[in-house]
Every structure is written in C-alpha cells, then in structure tokens.
Amino acid sequence: MGLRCSFTTQAAVVVGLVATAHAAEVCNPNDLNGAYGLQMAGSTTIGGRAQPIAVIGRIVFGYGGSVSGVSSVNFNGFFLGNPVTGKYEANADCSMTLSLQVDSGGNEEFHGRMRPGGDRADVQQTDTGTGERGVLSRTPESCSAATFQGNYNFQLSGSATPFNEDTPATMPGSATVQANGNGGLTLTRGSVQTNGTYTVDSDCFVQLDIGLPDAESALVKLRGILVGGGKEVLVVATDPERVGSGRFTAK
C-alpha cells in the first residue's frame, strides 16, 4: 500500500512537471510583431564545398503575416546587402516559419521557435545545402549612439577566408568593452587595452571599427544591430579577410 501510494504520488508529480513544461511552451502568435535583429552563422555547400557564412539583418514582422527588411551576408569574405520581403507564420506551440525573398528573386526558408512573449526566437535556415543557425531578437523602433552605452562582455569567433590566408584561422575576441555613448570604444583583454569607434543608424544598425589585442591584428570591421533595448549588439565581420560573428552583452 505504501509503495503503491508513493508510486502514484511520484507519477502525479512527473505528470505535473510535464504539464508545466508544455504549458511554458504556449505562445501568442500575435506577439511576434514589429522589428527584430537577425543574426545567423554557419556554413553552406550551395557553391560546392562547405564555405563559412554569417548574416546580420533587420526584419519587420507585420500582423498580417507579411515581412520586410534588409539582410546582409558575409559569404566567404564577400559582403552583400539585400532588401527582403516575404511572409511568416507563428503558432501557439511557439513554432514559426519564415520565407524571405531577396531582390534578386531567390527564396530562403527558415524554421524557428519563439520564446514566450515574442521577444526572441531561435531560427535555422532549411534550404538544401544550408545549415545556418541564429536568433531573432526584438530591436528598438529607433536608436542613437547613446543607445549603445556602458560595459559589455564581447565575444567574436570565425575563420579566415581565401582573400587573406595569413589571417589566423580563429578570431580571438573574448574581452570586455566600454562604450561611451558617443562613438568611442575601449576594449580590454587581460592587461591589454585597445580602442575603437562606432556609429549608430536610426534603424539601430551599428558600424564598428575595433582593434583586437593581438599584435598581428589590425582593426576589425563589424556590422551589427542593437537589440534588447541596447543590452545586446549582434555583429558580423564585414572585411574580406574574415567571416565571423559575435555579440556585445551588457554586464
């Protein structure tokens, strides 16, 4: 009797935990609306052998299922920007699909999972030969240099491209960064400090030139987008020597 009662109690607890977990996965499809920053990274075999790729963009989700925005891609050192349009579907189980069309006419398909509340989603491109993964994160309606201000943890990783085989295979970019809210950056890694600059567009895109604290490294050029009310900046490398992605996260 005691064992049977205990088993029943444990089963009830397990069922309750499973039910709670499923309940936490309920989303309001209407929560996915407005402007989001997009960042993705990975590799693609569309051109033959696997090549690195990194994507940064700003996507606006409309209530009627429409999508517009701009997406910039660093494909093996070629950095290209394209306006995009498309459609999306968001579901109560937090799943979502996204179909984008670039101005050249090509279609790109994505699957994803929203976080409850709609402020963030994990996404993956599903077209044959692709495997990039990343995030969509809500971005402010407008930004200024003051939106990017304070102390941040900074991480940057990636690989060299055929344009510069002397570039290190990795991009050693784990450091802390202070943004002064007026276009100036100070990066600290261990006992070494380097400086950088940034500009912020009204649509929350950020252009950065930042020095990594390695003797052989020159300024690294980054393009990013402010998300989370300025608490995070999603970035990709834009110079032809590197394909990389990273982020600044407020401390």
> What's the CA gap between 224 and 246, in Å, rounded?
9
Q: Which two tokens stand for residue 85?
A: 């349009």
| Band (160; pLDDT cuts 50, 70, 90) | low
> Does residue 162 sit within a domain?
yes
Domain boundary among 138, 169, 201: 138
Burial code (b: 16+ CB inside 10 Å, e: under 16) for 192-217 equals eebebebebeebbbbebbbbbbeeeb
Angle at the Cα of 79 (from 73 to 81), degrees rounded to 5? 60
> What's the CA gap between 204 and 115, in Å, rounded?
22
Same domain assignment for residues 114 and 47:
yes
User: What CATH number corresponds to the domain at position 196?
Assistant: 2.40.128.80
Domain boundary among 138, 166, 190: 138
Same domain assignment for residues 39 and 92:
yes
> What's the CA gap between 235 and 88, in Å, rounded?
24
> Does residue 78 sit within a domain?
yes
Structural domain including 54 reads: 29-138
> Does residue 20 sit within a domain?
no
pTM: 0.84
Choose the most confident range, by mean pLDDT, from 13-17, 73-77, 169-173, 230-234. Answer: 230-234
Same domain assignment for residues 35 and 129:
yes
Q: What domain count does the chain have?
A: 2
What confidence tens digit (pLDDT) does each residue in 52-62 have? 889 999 999 99
93-96, long-range: CB < 8 A, 24+ apart: 93/25, 93/26, 93/27, 94/25, 94/26, 94/27, 96/32, 96/121, 96/123
Size of the chain in residues: 251
Same domain assignment for residues 53 and 73:
yes
> Does residue 214 sit within a domain?
yes
Domain boundary among 97, 122, 138: 138
> Does residue 10 sit within a domain?
no
What confidence tens digit (pLDDT) does each residue in 59-106 have? 999 988 999 999 998 887 788 888 999 999 999 999 999 999 987 667
Same domain assignment for residues 202 and 233:
yes
Cα first-last separation, the chain: 54
> Does residue 102 sit within a domain?
yes
User: What CATH number corresponds to the domain at position 49?
Assistant: 2.40.128.120
